[in-house]
């Protein structure tokens, strides 16, 4: 059967349409088209359509293939763009982009997963398994830097996320090639942002070349204009800095005869741009001329002015054309079959094609798109080429720039050249110095260090202490109220050493304090003591004479001198900073009755004092204020003299201390008579004799005279008779007493010198030298014995107090609960299946309270509950609580006792009822106290509630029922429930129980506990209430006559 012709033609037409549809190769163009002038003015849709139009007329491409371009917007924020990137699946067989290099790695992984191609002119790593794009711009940049030997470069980015990410990736790529990239800085958006950025560049060592990651000022980049003008104003242009625009590497910057109005209209910018070295794609025809030609041929129908279009337009055109050429090359190599985007990576290249305004090359062996590059210098308002770079030399591995007829003019001189080793991967480079030179420099450095090592070691500590005037920045003050254990804690001391000022760490404020409240501090890791000088006015500085004098005093070094460390002048405080002595002064040691001092130990202390004063007098310095409080004892029980030279410091500063009569008891008589206070060698000897008296007798100066200090001073000034301390001959060797008498001789010329004293004192122990070690050992043995007795005594006291505390807690809480709380364990609520509760209250308690004073009510309840407490102590019950006149007891809680709980509470109730009959109110003995008792048995839940004053409480219906049994009972009766009766009956102990008929119809009967077999104690007789009397109050007849009127008056007042 032959088909009609029209049917055959229709089928052929449909097959052609199907073939065309299946042969469409889709391209997805990704870019931040609204983020920056370089992209927003690129007209990507027009560029792509122009490329597709020319592809259709290219005779070298197959007519059977169709190309379609989809424009995809890349977000300005890298993080958001990365999120959107994952949603772009299915838009193309090959993706051109992204332009943000931060996204390249993610885009490569995604396109591999989607099995499509990727070609991005913005990516900086050409090793990803996708179609190689245009040569990475950083490879071209590296080639230029290598030619000029600029290794130390900085990177400045515009304050946008796109350019900031680009700058970081550019720096990373150059570092991966071995260059020591300097600062990577992002410009701030404020007015001073460019200057602040350039200041950071200027401070960088060896950096003279700056890579600008931002849109070029020649295509409308405002940030680059601000940066270059700031560089001109700061003198960086004349200082030899060179600026390289990174964006020009991505396109072909017009140069030929193109005039840039940005440079024509601004003399300053034209001058600043003379320091710009532009690297861009070479072109046979200016981009602007090529764009105008396309407009003239109606290929571009837009009327936009060419100079307002970003040259990135040509890069987009070239990328679309390049992908199409790679598809065709791969299709022919595969026998004409359909080519998928992922196959483009296998393209061998080896072809050239006409770009938008230059000839481009598909590099052989898959090297990607290659182009010639040129280096441009500014010439007024134009750019002229100075060097060229061949397409095969753009990978940064081989070859380099070729100079042209014109050389690049550096306005501030050629930046310094770095060592070529930075650009040689096979060589190690350090600071631009060759390895052999580094080796010899290292040897020389080791020799220098070895030569000066001991010198530095020797003078290190002295260099730290050369500062004479100290402030709060040097000393950390310690709270002296903190316990010694805390002050000796190594971890705390270590943390204090890390603090430079005393107010830096609030977290350690529990141990730090202010100089006004403490005399102890830490200076460079050592504890110091501040001798504060209070003169009635603020001292803000030390004059030159004082500084010179103190420098001499600080140079004095002796084992028995307390060293001066500096003068403290801060916060209105003037003080001498000296070494800290943990055992205080000699006066403190003598006043400590816990320290037992034998003669050997005393003589050791006196010998230390003699040695220190002998050294001072040998240096020609008299002390002038020698006394026991100025003799310090360190941790090794070595005595050290302090405050020497203080009178001279005060005189130099024109200061004077207020005179306290008690402080003048060590002063020699001739000095007391002198209106101008000073010091002398003989006066120091007299002061030494008074200290001998203190050490021998362990008393204050002249303590045995029982006279006020001012009277003693008057007698010292005006002898006779001579006024001297009295010391028993039994308290010290006779030679020592004789020496003491010589030292306080009234005639200063007859007093011995410290040289003589030293010689005499050595013979006092009859040839035995005062051995401080032996004395310390004996003292420590005595101290240890005393300490053991003291510890034993304190331990006994502690045990007594602990027992008291445990007893008190045991009275407030059950023993098991108290033990758990002491151990820090939680006390969980506990269920008790069977327990008996006791409630009682006082009949007419409100009336009794009205007839009594508050203190009388308290005494009444205290007497009553004391009697109850004594009774319950003989039964297996637990007192739960008392509230007012209510008294609550439980058995079976917290200690379970089987069914005995009912019997324990019943027996206790009978004993309480018996005792209440004889109880008398102290202030109303004629009035009887009547109570009602209620008992009930059942399950309860017990637990501790509250954190402050925790209480052991019972919960459940059993508590409510027991309270109801009490409130519905009668005076002098024990009201019990049926559940309690059952438990008592089961025990078969002979309890006497009477039935009380139900008071309300439908309710259960309750019962009265009347007694028990063997219980012979008399019980009070319940009152007869048949006359309508209340079981809750007291009748008027029961109230004492003298209080009855008071009660009636209060009742009338309440009725009103």
At 425, the pLDDT band (50, 70, 90 cuts) reads low
Q: What is the pLDDT of residues 892-910, one digit of tens each?
A: 998 899 999 999 999 999 9
- Tokens read off for 573: 């405080």
The CATH number of residue 751's host domain is: 1.10.510.10
Cα–Cα distance for residue pair 55/326, rounded to 1 Å? 13
Most confident range (mean pLDDT) of 21-35, 49-63, 213-227, 1037-1051 is: 213-227
User: For residues 880 and 812, is the Cβ–Cβ distance under 8 A?
Assistant: no
**Confidence at residue 20, expressed as pLDDT on a 0 to 100 scale:** 42
Using the 3D structure, point to which of 770, 790, 820 is the last residue of a domain: 770
Q: What is the pLDDT of residues 551-602, one digit of tens each?
A: 899 889 999 999 998 889 888 888 999 999 888 899 999 998 888 788 888 8
Regarding whether 384 and 282 lie in a shared domain, the answer is yes
Regarding whether 914 and 863 lie in a shared domain, the answer is yes
Cα–Cα distance for residue pair 416/693, rounded to 1 Å? 81
Using the 3D structure, point to which of 770, 789, 812 is the last residue of a domain: 770
Question: At residue 673, what are phi and psi to the nearest 5 degrees?
Answer: -75, -20
Q: What is the pLDDT of residues 965-1014, one digit of tens each?
A: 999 999 999 999 999 999 999 999 999 999 987 665 556 789 999 999 99
User: For residues 208 and 182, is the Cβ–Cβ distance under 8 A?
Assistant: no
Give which of 130, 51, 69 is closest to 321, Cα–Cα: 51
Within a domain: 548: yes
Give which of 898, 894, 903 is closest to 875, Cα–Cα: 903
Does the pLDDT of residue 436 top 80, yes or no?
A: no
Regarding whether 586 and 576 lie in a shared domain, the answer is no
Regarding whether 204 and 165 lie in a shared domain, the answer is yes
Regarding whether 631 and 574 lie in a shared domain, the answer is no
Q: Over range 840-867, report the average pLDDT.
A: 90
User: For residues 384 and 377, is the Cβ–Cβ distance under 8 A?
Assistant: yes
Cα–Cα distance for residue pair 541/472, rounded to 1 Å? 15
- Strand-pair category, 830-842 with 886-891: antiparallel
**Confidence at residue 685, expressed as pLDDT on a 0 to 100 scale:** 94
Regarding whether 600 and 559 lie in a shared domain, the answer is no
Within a domain: 712: yes
Domain that holds residue 498: 468-580
535-571: burial string, b at 16+ Cβ within 10 Å, e else? eeeebeebeeebeebbeebbeeebebbbbbbbbbbbe
Measured CA angle at 97 (ends 94, 101), to 5 deg: 140
Q: Over range 1020-1025, report the average pLDDT.
A: 80
Within a domain: 386: yes
Within a domain: 360: yes
Does the pLDDT of residue 253 top 90, yes or no?
A: yes
**What is the widest separation between alpha-carbon atoms in the chain?**
166
**Confidence at residue 497, expressed as pLDDT on a 0 to 100 scale:** 47
Within a domain: 460: no
The CATH number of residue 72's host domain is: 3.40.50.2300
Regarding whether 755 and 835 lie in a shared domain, the answer is no
The CATH number of residue 977's host domain is: 3.30.70.1230
Domain tally, the chain: 4
Does the pLDDT of residue 637 top 70, yes or no?
A: yes
Cα–Cα distance for residue pair 605/764, rounded to 1 Å? 14
Q: What is the pLDDT of residues 99-154, one digit of tens each?
A: 888 888 888 888 888 888 888 888 887 665 555 556 788 889 999 998 898 989 99
| Cβ-based burial of 795 (10 A; exposed 0-12, middle 13-18, buried ≥19) | exposed
Using the 3D structure, point to which of 770, 794, 812 is the last residue of a domain: 770
Q: For 17, left (φ over 0), alpha (ψ -120 to 50), or beta? A: alpha
**Confidence at residue 840, expressed as pLDDT on a 0 to 100 scale:** 94
Cα–Cα distance for residue pair 238/307, rounded to 1 Å? 31
**Confidence at residue 491, expressed as pLDDT on a 0 to 100 scale:** 47
Q: What is the pLDDT of residues 811-823, one digit of tens each?
A: 677 777 777 777 7
Give which of 1007, 1008, 925 is closest to 972, Cα–Cα: 1008
Q: Over range 717-728, report the average pLDDT.
A: 87
Q: Which residues pair with 383 in a beta bridge?
A: 378
Mean predicted lDDT score pLDDT of the chain: 83
Give me the residue label for tokens 């309508």.
Answer: 1028
Regarding whether 572 and 643 lie in a shared domain, the answer is no
Distances (CA, A) of 999 to 238, 920, 993, 1022: 115, 32, 18, 18
Measured CA angle at 21 (ends 16, 26), to 5 deg: 150
Give which of 116, 113, 84 is closest to 100, Cα–Cα: 84
Gyration radius from the chain CA atoms? 53
More confident: 58 or 992:
992
Whether a cis peptide bond, with omega within 30° of 0, leads into 720 is: yes
Within a domain: 237: yes
Give which of 552, 547, 548, 551 is closest to 569, Cα–Cα: 547
Regarding whether 279 and 338 lie in a shared domain, the answer is yes
Regarding whether 613 and 527 lie in a shared domain, the answer is no
The lowest-confidence range among 433-442, 873-882, 951-960 is: 433-442
- At a CB cut-off of 8 Å and minimum separation 6, what does 349 contact? 326, 329, 361, 362, 363, 364, 365, 366, 367, 368
Cα–Cα distance for residue pair 200/209, rounded to 1 Å? 13
Within a domain: 507: yes
Q: What is the pLDDT of residues 349-408, one digit of tens each?
A: 667 888 898 888 876 655 667 889 999 999 989 999 999 988 876 665 666 788 988 888
Cα–Cα distance for residue pair 297/311, rounded to 1 Å? 19
Cα–Cα distance for residue pair 967/931, rounded to 1 Å? 11
94-113: burial string, b at 16+ Cβ within 10 Å, e else? bbbbbbbbbbbeebbebbbe
Cα–Cα distance for residue pair 33/355, rounded to 1 Å? 22
Regarding whether 600 and 523 lie in a shared domain, the answer is no
Cα–Cα distance for residue pair 534/622, rounded to 1 Å? 22
Does the pLDDT of residue 753 top 80, yes or no?
A: yes
**Confidence at residue 278, expressed as pLDDT on a 0 to 100 scale:** 96
250-271: burial string, b at 16+ Cβ within 10 Å, e else? bbbbbbeebebebbeebeebbb
Distances (CA, A) of 382 to 255, 273, 283: 7, 10, 15
Within a domain: 72: yes
Does the pLDDT of residue 308 top 80, yes or no?
A: yes
Provide the residue count of the chain: 1056
- Tokens read off for 547: 């500084």
701-718: burial string, b at 16+ Cβ within 10 Å, e else? bbeeeeeebeebbebbee
Q: Over range 461-465, report the average pLDDT.
A: 54
- At a CB cut-off of 8 Å and minimum separation 6, what does 505 contact? 499, 512
More confident: 660 or 6:
660
Regarding whether 656 and 515 lie in a shared domain, the answer is no
Cα–Cα distance for residue pair 690/701, rounded to 1 Å? 6
Give me the residue label for tokens 């350090």.
Answer: 430
């Amino acid at each position: 059967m032959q088909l009609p012709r029209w049917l055959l033609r229709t089928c052929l037409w449909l097959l052609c349409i199907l073939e065309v549809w299946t042969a469409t190769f889709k391209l997805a163009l990704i870019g931040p088209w609204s983020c920056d002038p370089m992209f927003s003015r690129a007209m990507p849709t027009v560029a792509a359509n122009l490329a597709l139009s020319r592809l259709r007329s290219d005779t070298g491409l197959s007519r059977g293939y169709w190309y379609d371009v989809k424009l995809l917007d890349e977000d300005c924020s890298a993080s958001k763009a990365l999120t959107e990137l994952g949603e772009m699946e299915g838009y193309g067989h090959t993706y051109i982009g992204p332009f943000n290099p931060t996204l390249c790695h993610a885009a490569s992984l995604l396109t591999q997963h989607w099995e499509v191609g990727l070609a991005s002119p913005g990516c900086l790593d050409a090793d990803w398994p996708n179609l190689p794009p245009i040569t990475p711009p950083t490879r071209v940049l590296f080639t230029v830097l290598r030619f000029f030997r600029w290794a130390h470069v900085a990177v400045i980015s515009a304050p946008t996320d796109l350019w900031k990410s680009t700058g970081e990736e550019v720096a990373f790529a150059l570092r991966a090639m071995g260059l020591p990239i300097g600062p990577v800085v992002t410009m701030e958006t404020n007015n001073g942002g460019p200057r602040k950025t350039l200041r950071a560049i200027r401070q960088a060592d060896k950096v003279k070349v700056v890579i600008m990651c931002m849109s070029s000022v020649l295509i409308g980049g405002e940030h680059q204009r601000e940066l270059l003008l700031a560089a001109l104003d700061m003198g960086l242009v004349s200082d030899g800095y060179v600026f390289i625009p990174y964006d020009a590497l991505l396109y072909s910057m017009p140069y030929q005869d193109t005039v840039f109005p940005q440079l024509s209209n601004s003399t300053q910018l034209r001058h600043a741009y003379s320091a710009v070295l532009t690297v861009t794609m070479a072109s046979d025809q200016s981009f602007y001329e090529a764009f105008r030609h396309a407009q003239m041929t109606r290929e571009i129908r837009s009327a936009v002015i060419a100079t307002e279009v970003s040259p990135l337009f040509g890069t987009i055109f070239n990328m679309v054309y390049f992908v199409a050429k790679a598809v065709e090359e791969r299709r022919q190599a595969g026998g004409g079959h359909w080519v998928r985007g992922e196959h483009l990576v296998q393209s061998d290249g080896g072809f050239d094609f006409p770009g938008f305004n230059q000839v481009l090359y598909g590099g052989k062996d898959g090297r990607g798109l290659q182009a010639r590059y040129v280096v441009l210098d500014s010439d007024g308002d134009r750019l002229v080429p100075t060097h060229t770079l061949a397409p095969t030399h753009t990978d940064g591995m081989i070859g380099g720039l070729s100079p042209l007829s014109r050389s690049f003019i550096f306005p501030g001189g050629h930046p310094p050249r770095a060592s070529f080793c930075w650009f040689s991967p096979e060589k190690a480079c350090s600071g631009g110095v060759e390895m052999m030179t580094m080796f010899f420099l290292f040897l020389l450095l080791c020799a220098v260090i070895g030569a000066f090592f001991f010198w530095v070691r020797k003078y290190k500590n002295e260099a730290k202490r050369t500062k004479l005037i100290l402030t709060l920045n040097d000393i950390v003050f310690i709270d002296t109220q903190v316990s010694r254990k805390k002050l000796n804690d190594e971890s705390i001391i270590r943390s204090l050493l890390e603090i430079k000022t005393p107010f830096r760490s609030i977290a350690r404020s529990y141990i730090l304090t202010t100089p006004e409240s403490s005399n102890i501090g830490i200076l460079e890791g050592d504890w110091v003591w501040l001798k504060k000088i209070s003169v009635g006015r603020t001292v803000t500085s030390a004059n030159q004479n004082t500084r010179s004098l103190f420098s001499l005093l600080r140079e004095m070094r002796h084992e028995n001198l307390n060293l001066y460390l500096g003068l403290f002048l801060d916060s209105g405080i003037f003080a001498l900073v000296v070494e800290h002595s943990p055992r205080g002064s000699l006066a403190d040691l003598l006043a400590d009755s816990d320290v037992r001092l034998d003669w050997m130990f005393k003589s050791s202390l006196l010998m230390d004092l003699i040695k220190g004063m002998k050294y001072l007098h040998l240096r020609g310095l008299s002390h002038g204020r020698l006394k026991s409080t100025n003799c310090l004892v360190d941790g090794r029980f070595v005595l050290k003299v302090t405050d020497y030279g203080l009178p001279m410091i005060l005189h130099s500063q024109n200061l004077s201390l207020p005179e306290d009569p008690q402080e003048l008891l060590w002063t020699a008589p001739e000095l007391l008579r002198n209106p101008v206070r000073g010091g002398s060698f003989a006066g120091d000897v007299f002061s030494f004799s008074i200290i001998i008296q203190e050490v021998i007798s362990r008393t204050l100066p002249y303590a045995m005279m029982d006279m006020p200090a001012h009277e003693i001073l008057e007698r010292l000034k005006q002898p006779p008779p001579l006024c001297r301390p009295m010391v028993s001959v039994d308290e010290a060797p006779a030679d020592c007493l004789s020496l003491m008498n010589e030292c306080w001789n009234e005639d200063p010329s007859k007093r011995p010198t410290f040289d003589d004293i030293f010689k005499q004192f050595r013979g006092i122990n009859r040839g035995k030298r005062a051995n401080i070690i032996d004395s310390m050992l004996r003292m420590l043995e005595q101290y240890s014995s005393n300490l053991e007795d003291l510890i034993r005594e304190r331990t006994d006291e502690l045990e007594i107090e602990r027992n008291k505390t445990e007893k008190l807690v045991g009275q407030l809480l059950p023993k098991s609960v108290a033990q758990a709380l002491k151990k820090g364990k939680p006390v969980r609520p506990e269920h008790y299946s069977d327990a008996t509760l006791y409630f009682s209250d006082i009949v007419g308690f409100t009336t009794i309270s009205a007839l009594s004073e508050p203190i009388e009510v308290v005494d009444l309840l205290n007497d009553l509950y004391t009697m109850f407490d004594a009774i319950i102590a003989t039964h297996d019950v637990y007192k739960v609580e008392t509230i007012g006149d209510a008294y609550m007891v439980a058995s079976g809680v917290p200690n379970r006792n089987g069914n005995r709980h009912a019997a324990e509470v019943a027996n206790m109730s009978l004993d309480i009822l018996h005792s209440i009959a004889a109880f008398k109110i102290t202030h109303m003995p004629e009035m009887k106290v009547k109570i009602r008792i209620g008992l009930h048995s059942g399950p309860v839940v017990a637990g501790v509630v509250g954190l402050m004053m925790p209480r052991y409480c019972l919960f459940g219906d059993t508590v409510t029922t027991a309270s109801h049994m009490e409130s519905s009972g009668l005076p002098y009766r024990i009201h019990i429930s049926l559940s309690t009766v059952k438990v008592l009956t089961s025990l078969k102990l002979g309890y006497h129980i009477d039935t009380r008929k139900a008071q309300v119809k439908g309710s259960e009967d309750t019962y009265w506990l009347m007694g028990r077999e063997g219980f012979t104690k008399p019980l009070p007789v319940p009152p007869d209430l048949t006359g309508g009397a209340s079981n809750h109050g007291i009748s008027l007849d029961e109230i004492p006559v003298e209080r009855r009127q008071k009660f009636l008056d209060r009742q009338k007042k309440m009725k009103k």
